[in-house]
């Protein structure tokens, strides 16, 4: 497909990774029309890390408003027919843009998302890859419900028609399903392009991973305020049941054991248990704060 692409990258305190991200974007086999980096109020040296690229990218600083706000800022500046998104801790493969654009093979396709894989070979990274939480989500009918902006590309006109990302989602989690829900209600469809690969620096500690999942839980609560089918029935009761779900933990261990052996099964089943509690805790926190 002969089309121009703008790339939007939000960054918040990403000084240690953003330069490597930009290097990978500049090395694309399909060169982008522009690379727009939106600094969402960083307090570290992100701006200094980007100075070597000042003649190759469009850098903009704004007050902190969250990733949805930063992506919207960049999308409004974008001038190409397509807008691709990735994050400041991601390393897109050389043919990333080429494979994303190949997915737009019909007018109904308004967005294409690709695969997100761990940069390292840690157990936590392997677990996150196994969950596929950062890849396009399918419903029971096999349709793509939403894309993950670590690796996604949208038609600019369709994105603007859906009013971009909902900036009430100030933390990561929930803003992508909300956007794609509105786009699907307008009749648009999405596609998964597994060949479009982005390598991601998954959270380096279990604590940071669980904090991210807790943010997703908060986002789910806000989604439920917008669309009731996202609501979790009896979340407090579900949380306490999960705390004592020993049988469920044992079943998860056995399932992992058959495929990955005892050591990984122990780690993965424990992470499953903690992840579900963190998500429900986030949902309850959103409920208490009335997001």
Cβ(9)–Cβ(88) below 8 Å:
yes
The number of folded domains in the chain is 2
Domain CATH code at residue 161: 3.90.550.10
279 and 245 assigned to the same domain: yes
Distance (Å, rounded) from C-alpha 284 to C-alpha 147? 25
11 and 53 within one domain? yes
Angle at 243 between CA 240 and CA 244, to 5 degrees: 100
Task: Give yes or no: residues 279 and 143 share one domain.
Answer: no
Tens digit of each residue's pLDDT (9 = 90 or more) over 170-221: 998 899 999 999 999 999 999 999 999 999 987 678 999 999 999 999 999 9
Coil/strand/helix, residue 43: coil
Q: Are 184 and 130 in contact (CB under 8 A)?
A: no
Domain boundary (200, 227, 250) is at: 200
CA dist 3 and 30 (Å) reads 10
Same-domain pairing of 171 and 211: no
> End of a domain among 178, 200, 222?
200
**147 phi-psi bin (left φ>0, alpha ψ -120 to 50, beta other):** beta
- The tens digit of pLDDT for each residue in 210-240 reads 999 999 999 999 999 999 999 999 999 999 9
The CB-side HSE value for 40 (13 A sphere, CA atoms) comes to 24
Task: Report angle CA 217, 127, 276 to the nearest 5 degrees.
Answer: 30
pTM, entire model: 0.93
Question: Which domain range does residue 216 map to?
Answer: 206-289
pLDDT of residue 1: 64
Helix (H) or strand (E) holding 225, with range, is helix 206-226
Is the same domain home to 133 and 155? Answer: yes
Q: Which two tokens stand for residue 15?
A: 């000084």
- Please tell me the distance from the alpha carbon of residue 163 to that of residue 166, in angstroms, as a whole number: 8
Find the helix or strand (DSSP H, E) in which 194 lies.
Answer: strand 189-200
Comparing C-alpha atoms, which of 80, 81, 51, 60 is closest to residue 9?
Answer: 60
Q: To the nearest whole percent, how much of the chain has pLDDT over 90?
A: 84
Same domain, 190 and 242: no
Domain stops at, among 200, 225, 259: 200
Let me know whether 92 and 167 are in one domain.
yes
Are 71 and 116 within one domain?
yes
Same domain for 73 and 132, yes or no, is: yes
163: tokens are 């009013």
């Amino acid at each position: 497909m002969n089309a121009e692409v703008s790339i939007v990258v939000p960054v918040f305190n990403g000084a240690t990774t953003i330069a490597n991200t930009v290097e990978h974007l500049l090395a694309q086999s399909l060169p982008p029309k522009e690379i727009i980096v939106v600094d969402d109020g960083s307090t570290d040296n992100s701006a200094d890390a980007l100075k070597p690229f000042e003649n190759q990218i469009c850098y903009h600083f704004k007050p902190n408003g969250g990733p949805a706000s930063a992506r919207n800022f960049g999308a409004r500046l974008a001038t190409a027919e397509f807008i691709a998104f990735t994050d400041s801790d991601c390393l897109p493969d050389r043919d990333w843009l080429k494979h994303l654009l190949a997915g737009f093979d019909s007018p109904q396709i308004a967005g294409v998302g690709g695969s997100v894989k761990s940069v390292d070979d840690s157990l936590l990274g392997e677990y996150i890859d196994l969950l596929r939480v950062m890849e396009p989500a399918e419903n029971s009918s096999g349709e793509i419900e939403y894309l993950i902006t670590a690796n996604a590309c949208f038609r600019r006109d369709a994105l603007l028609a859906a009013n971009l990302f909902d900036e009430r989602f100030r933390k990561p989690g929930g803003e992508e399903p909300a956007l794609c829900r509105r786009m699907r209600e307008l009749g648009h469809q999405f596609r998964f392009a597994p060949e479009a690969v982005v390598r991601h620096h998954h959270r380096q500690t279990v604590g940071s991973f669980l904090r991210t999942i807790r943010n997703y839980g908060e986002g789910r609560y806000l989604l439920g305020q917008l669309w009731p089918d996202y609501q979790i029935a009896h979340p407090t009761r579900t949380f306490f049941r999960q705390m004592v779900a020993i049988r469920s933990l044992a079943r998860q261990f056995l399932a992992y054991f058959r495929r990955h052996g005892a050591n990984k099964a122990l780690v993965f089943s424990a992470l499953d248990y903690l992840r579900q509690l963190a998500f429900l805790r986030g949902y309850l926190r959103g409920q208490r704060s009335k997001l």
